[in-house]
């Protein structure tokens, strides 16, 4: 029961930080779905509350139905948000930092499909 409550709590925190339709804030969950569905992953690194280009990209591309229709059918979508003011779960922050290091992301917004 505690695991279920914790999962719900983390989900709320994740989507408060960056609410992009179709994007999952949990890389590990998306990775499992990608394997189950034989899809590659598309990961977006962003700074949702401080990066003006990230906000513009979300508004002009990522939120558009043309992109979402294609992307959700092609990839498992993941967002790694690095906000400066908003709070995210410490577990997610640690996960995002490890992904940033693994993929060598040094600027935002940055997307990588694999």
Which helix (H) or strand (E) segment is 78 a member of? strand 76-81
Q: Is 17 a residue whose pLDDT tops 70?
A: no
pLDDT for res 35: 96
Say what percent of the chain tops pLDDT 70: 83
pLDDT digits (tens, 9 = 90+) for 64-92: 999 999 999 999 999 999 999 999 999 99
The pLDDT of 45-65, averaged and rounded, is 95
In this structure, the strands spanning 110-113 and 41-46 are antiparallel
Quote the domain boundaries for residue 19.
Answer: 2-113
Which residue carries 């992109």 as its tokens? 67
Q: What integer pLDDT is reported at residue 21 of this predicted model? A: 86
Per the structure, how many domains does the chain have? Answer: 1
**pLDDT value at position 19?**
62
- Give dist(CA 52, CA 11) in Å, integer: 25
Average pLDDT over residues 34-56: 96
* Mean pLDDT within 25-30: 94
CA–chain centroid gap for 42, Å, is: 9
> What CATH number did the domain enclosing 79 receive?
3.40.30.10
Measured in residues, the chain has a length of 114
Q: Is the pLDDT confidence value at 1 over 80?
A: no
CA distances from 29 to 4, 26, 81 (A): 15, 6, 16
Rounded-to-integer distance, Cα 73 and Cα 71, Å: 5
């Amino acid at each position: 029961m505690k695991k279920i409550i914790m999962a719900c709590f983390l989900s709320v925190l994740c989507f408060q930080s960056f609410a992009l339709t179709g994007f999952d804030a949990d890389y590990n969950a998306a990775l499992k779905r990608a394997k189950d569905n034989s899809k590659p992953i598309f990961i977006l690194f962003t700074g949702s509350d401080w990066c003006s280009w990230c906000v513009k990209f979300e508004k002009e591309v990522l939120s558009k139905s043309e992109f979402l229709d294609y992307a959700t059918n092609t990839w498992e979508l993941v967002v790694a948000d690095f906000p400066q003011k908003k709070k995210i779960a410490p577990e997610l922050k640690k996960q995002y930092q490890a992904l940033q290091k693994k993929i060598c992301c040094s600027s935002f917004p940055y997307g990588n499909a694999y």
